[in-house]
Amino acid sequence: MSVLDLVNYGNPILRKKCNQVTNFPQLSDLIDDMFDTMYEEEGIGLAANQVGIDLNLFIIDISHTDDDEYPRIFINGEITSSRGESVFSEGCLSIPKVALEVTRPEVILFKYQDIHEEWYEEEFDGLLARAIQHEIDHLNGVLIIDLVSEMQRLKVNKEVKKIKNDSIIKFKRQPISKGFVL
């Protein structure tokens, strides 16, 4: 399996609503590569469009903070309800080295499919709820910089602009489609 290239802020795939997954049998190599990539980059979650793939699919592994946890795969996910509120410092593999205090609902009801096309609706809270919201935002084209106050955004403006400019140059040189036909 292999580590995939991350796409950074500035790449248009991070700003679009991703397509629903319909062809499940073709996902397993992509998912293996996404886990390799996430562990290599020391992330706890990764959405498909962060590696240039336009599909409603993300992975999460928070087992380093919780012994009962395990690597999770969420496909065609959708938050159906939410409640409460919490504030937490979030980073993002697509906006390297930028951390922002993001306010989100504390508890979510989340509907999704697994790799076998089985549907689930489950309640999540804590770090898992937060990671799911971060990743599902990615798949809807939303980034953490959209969720914070103008004041917080100004503090990281310089770094974010640099990431965007570097990404646009890279994106122009190297088209995002990299041989995944899904």
CA distances, 102 to each of 28, 75, 81 (Å): 32, 24, 19
Cβ neighbour number for residue 8 with a 10 Å cutoff: 20
Q: How far is the CB of 90 from Zn ion (least distance, A)?
A: 8
Cβ neighbour number for residue 109 with a 10 Å cutoff: 15
Q: How far is it, in rounded angstroms, from Cα 100 to Cα 153?
A: 8
Closer residue to Zn ion (CB): 9 or 124: 9
Q: How far is the CB of 50 from Zn ion (least distance, A)?
A: 6
Instruction: Provide the CA 105 distance to its chain's centre, in angstroms.
Output: 17
Closer residue to Zn ion (CB): 42 or 68: 42
**Which residues here bind Zn ion, judged by CB under 5 A?**
92
Q: How far is the CB of 76 from Zn ion (least distance, A)?
A: 19
The per-residue DSSP string of 93-110 comes to TTSTT-EEEEEE-SEEEE
Active site annotation includes 40: no
Beta-carbon contacts of residue 161 (< 8 Å; ≥ 6 apart): none
Q: How far is the CB of 119 from Zn ion (least distance, A)?
A: 25
Q: Which of 101, 135, 150, 159 is catalytic?
A: 135
Closer residue to Zn ion (CB): 48 or 92: 92
Closer residue to Zn ion (CB): 92 or 156: 92
Q: For residue 15, is it left (φ>0), alpha (ψ between -120 and 50) or beta?
A: alpha
Which residues are part of the catalytic machinery? 135
